[in-house]
Structure 1
Amino acid sequence: MMTMVITFIKTLVLLLLFTLTSASASAPAPEVVSRIAFGSCANQSSPQPIWDAILDYKPHVFIWLGDNIYGDIRRPFKLFGNDRTIGPWKNVPRFVPSSYDQMKSKYDIAKTNHGYARLRHIAKVIGTWDDHDYGLNDAGKEFKHKDINQKLMLDFLDEPPNSPRRKQAGVYASYTFGPEGRRIKVILLDTRYHRDPLRSDGTILGTAQWTWLKRELNSQPSEITVIGSSIQVISNLSACTGPLFYMESWGRFPSERKRLFKLISDSKRDGVFFISGDVHFGEITRFDCATGYPLYDITASGLTQAVEKVIPSFLHFVVRFLAWITPTTMRVINNNCKRKSCTYGQPNFGVIEVNWDENPVSLKFEVRGVSGEAVNSVTTSLSDLQAKKGGFNNVKEGKQHCSLEADLPWLLRHRLAILFSLFVAVLIVVQVGVLYVAISLMVKCLRKCKLD
């Protein structure tokens, strides 16, 4: 009897092992991901021809980096009248939130766009948000409708009903693609839900998200780690464009940015770089003094919204000239740029291309235009994105992108504001001179008429 029981148990164990082995053998291996596209700033009411170029690229993954719709309502510039949106006597905000139904309608328009609908069939689509799809321009943790809008954003991304993102405060998330040895980890940050007011140097991510990010960076290693931030991480152009105008970036929260760089450095994680949106132009920047290798930030903005689209084409040269003379310490300037400033102010998207078969593995970062042409490009390798004991192989190269914009000499840093002030002063002098000549001629004419 005992022999029969032992034989029965052995048979059950063998059957169980066979079942588990068969299931493991039949489970498909993760597909290799070598092409990632990303973009931001897509007004659902504008034409979106750029999807054709993205589809032609055939990405395995597409990443939304925020302003996936323009959900808030923008009032027109109004200097006089009852509702003044600009000027020292401004009495109403220029941007106001939409209702739930209005937000949902805008998401429906975006989701049913023909080009985007086709992309959803060929690529895995993931994403985070920025201010306009969060619900209000430049808004942070104080925004009252963030929980309702979080649900709408996750519905837009087809997030499963039981997803942790639907239960947490904020839309941050991480994904891992590819088999062992060719893994790509994508970490998407939420720079809105917990963000303190601008100019406060408070927090961007909040306590819970910082704890989560530390855990993610110290978790299972991957050959490549992409950190998606809706706002720029490396560049801090506001340090050079103020007081004329300011843009949101991690640089405006210097303590948070230092904490982010330190977290990456302490994790000893290689192959980390950033992708970002928000600013309505494309560029590639790098910072060489945060970890033992360069930290890149590829900014693609936007799919429909771009700085050169808001002014007549005959004035585009002015925007390009201003971009060229604005001081920058982080932007990668090379011969692969379409513009001399190595910024691109027309609609654009970004791509990450990995050649796993090369030794060492190569990476290409590009900003591409509406026709799919590369307008900014940087090629590097995984070996260049690994910390080296002695630091950079090339000391000169290692110091090339180490100075922060905020540390530039005052005259250089405020060059744009100084030139603008001089231009305005010359304009005023010319106008006063013309007025003086006109009055002098009138007085002369009146005296002559009186004498006659």
Structure 2
Amino acid sequence: MERLVAAVLAAGVLQVLLATTDDHYLLSRIAFGSCANQSAPQPIWDAINKFDPQVFIWLGDNIYGDIRRPFNFLGKERTIGPWKNAPRFIPSSSSEMLSRYNSAKNVPGYLRLRAKAKVVGTWDDHDYGLNDAGKELSAKTTNQRLLLDFLDEPQDSPRRKQAGVYTSYTFGPPGKQVKIILLDTRYHRDPLSSDGSVLGDSQWSWLGKELRGPPSAITIIGSSIQVISNLSGTTGPLFYMESWGHFPKERDRLFKLINDSKKRDGVFFISGDVHFGEITRYDCAAGYPLYDITSSGLTQAVEKVLPSPLRFIVRFLAWFTPSTMRVKNQNCRYRSCTYGEPNFGAIQIDWDASPVNLKIQVRDINGLPVTGVDISLSELQAWNRTIKAGQDQRHCTLEVELPWIVRYRLAILVYSVLACKQFLMLLDNRTGEYVLVASCFGRTNLCSDISLPGVPQKMQD
């Protein structure tokens, strides 16, 4: 206990020192992450501490503050299905939110990180207060205070007086400055189906000033939801993920703002939310490629919904789902170039290299890379951009622009398998015997290896 208290005190002193020396603090190691359930084990902090970041960035879902109700397909309160009549998620009280923040803040591994690194961050829906919520949430003012207390934000900080938690930081001496811009994609966001605003007028005005301000060598824009990926265009109608892709006008506005900020080279995004890690890229928004490194989550991960022996199914579906923006290279652990187990993001800046080199990775619970890119800083400068037709334009077609047969192939596969299964169940009921299925898809003759005892051969043919 004494060590934990000492760590907390040291963290407070470090935060004060860093806050007053940002202008001269050469930043070369940054870690980031999202989606940390305060009630779940959090062994990944060991790997993050071993990476020894100077700054750690929370990208949202720093706690799971809302209440998740059980799946109920039938009964009085139905939370899923076509006749759903009750919400799956409901807000919790401010006292319960505070309790969950206190639990998260006192995780031993996180305490060790706070003792040696500057911790900054923004929020996403579950720490904002409600799954998928936007500006309509009534508790957002109270919950903003709780988040800023969790982040040890000074009492006189402008973030405590504004509507929303957006902010920016600048580290490093002139010529080697790193600017970190953290967006708030919740407080002012219009409904998902509206194609309205993500940031709201006041935040857009602030962001414009930030991007048109004094130049920095590197600018990292943190968004709680993915900026580049349009995966919802290919995973629907099975399921949809929140992203800037739901607000195409806003995303175009963001890209245009970056493109028009002539002094603002070296921009890339980091994001969270989706419970898997990946790196995406868009080549046709600015004068250089825009990258989005997604790390999600520190505890929550899509493969954990299945037992270990069946997790290959998730990996197969991730590979099968078409993605035009995802970066696929030799650094990927799996063919899909996604990672569905707990992970964190790691950024290393080699200021001594000529030109300056960026190594950006998604790392696993042991600190080993699962996907990554090595980027020369000169590649992220419009004046040094050499357009090569074909190769450098390969990340320009959005998923929503794919031919429908490609775009919806995941849904076609899933529905075909379900239909085949239903057909076999009907036949099984008809004969009263089990039907052995050796293969039901992936062949020219669907279900060609199925034996149907008791069914005439002509009917089988």
The offset of 1:28, in angstroms, is 9.8
Matched residues in 2 for 1:90 and 1:385: separation? 47
Matched residues in 1 for 2:137 and 2:292: separation? 28
User: What residue number does 1:212 align with?
Assistant: 206
Contact 1:292 1:392 in 2 (8 A): no
1:75 and 2:69 correspond: yes
1:293 to 282, 288, 293: 288
Q: Secondary structure at the match of 2:374?
A: strand
Matched residues in 1 for 2:161 and 2:250: separation? 25
Matched residues in 1 for 2:25 and 2:257: separation? 30
Matched residues in 2 for 1:330 and 1:302: separation? 20
User: What residue number does 2:402 align with?
Assistant: 408
User: If you compute each CA radius of gyration, which structure gives the higher value, 1 or 2?
Assistant: 1
User: What residue number does 1:363 align with?
Assistant: 358
Contact 2:22 2:170 in 1 (8 A): no
Matched residues in 2 for 1:435 and 1:189: separation? 56
2:326 to 331, 339, 342: 331
- Pick closer, same or farther for the CA change 1:29–1:247 going to 2, 3 Å: closer
User: What residue number does 1:120 align with?
Assistant: 114
- Pick closer, same or farther for the CA change 1:326–1:124 going to 2, 3 Å: same
Structure 1, residues 151-189: CA drift from partner, whole Å, max 9, x if none? 000000000011000000000000000111110000000
Pairing 1:314-325 to 2, within 5 Å after superposition: 314-325=309-320
Contact 1:234 1:296 in 2 (8 A): yes
2:412 to 398, 414, 418: 418
Matched residues in 2 for 1:28 and 1:228: separation? 18
Matched residues in 2 for 1:208 and 1:397: separation? 39
Amino acid across the alignment from 2:134: G
- Pick closer, same or farther for the CA change 1:291–1:136 going to 2, 3 Å: same
Matched residues in 2 for 1:410 and 1:300: separation? 29
Matched residues in 2 for 1:90 and 1:362: separation? 51
User: What residue number does 1:54 align with?
Assistant: 48
Contact 1:344 1:375 in 2 (8 A): yes
Pairing 1:263-282 to 2, within 5 Å after superposition: 263-268=257-262, 269-282=264-277
Matched residues in 2 for 1:80 and 1:54: separation? 43
User: What residue number does 2:170 align with?
Assistant: 176
User: What residue number does 1:4 align with?
Assistant: none
Pairing 1:343-358 to 2, within 5 Å after superposition: 343-358=338-353
Amino acid across the alignment from 2:272: G
1:146 to 140, 143, 154: 140
Counting matched residue pairs gives: 414
Matched residues in 2 for 1:307 and 1:415: separation? 20
User: What residue number does 2:154 align with?
Assistant: 160
Q: Secondary structure at the match of 1:353?
A: strand
The offset of 1:29, in angstroms, is 6.7
* Residues 413-422 or 393-402, more deviating: 393-402
Q: Secondary structure at the match of 1:37?
A: strand
Amino acid across the alignment from 2:374: T
The offset of 1:393, in angstroms, is 4.4
Structure 1, residues 336-382: CA drift from partner, whole Å, max 9, x if none? 11111000000000011100000000001100000000000100111
Matched residues in 1 for 2:304 and 2:253: separation? 36
The offset of 1:392, in angstroms, is 3.0
RMSD: 1.5
Segments of structure 2 that go 5 or more residues without pairing to the other structure are 1-20, 434-453, 455-461
TM-score w.r.t. the length of structure 2 is: 0.88
Segments of structure 1 that go 5 or more residues without pairing to the other structure are 1-26, 440-444, 446-452
Contact 2:22 2:172 in 1 (8 A): no
Structure 1, residues 47-80: CA drift from partner, whole Å, max 9, x if none? 0000000000000100000000000000111122
Amino acid across the alignment from 1:301: S
Pairing 1:300-315 to 2, within 5 Å after superposition: 300-315=295-310
Pairing 1:225-244 to 2, within 5 Å after superposition: 225-244=219-238
Question: Hey, which bits of structure 1, 4+ residues long, moved more than 6 A?
Answer: none
Structure 1, residues 104-160: CA drift from partner, whole Å, max 9, x if none? 000000001101011011100000000000000000000010000000000000000
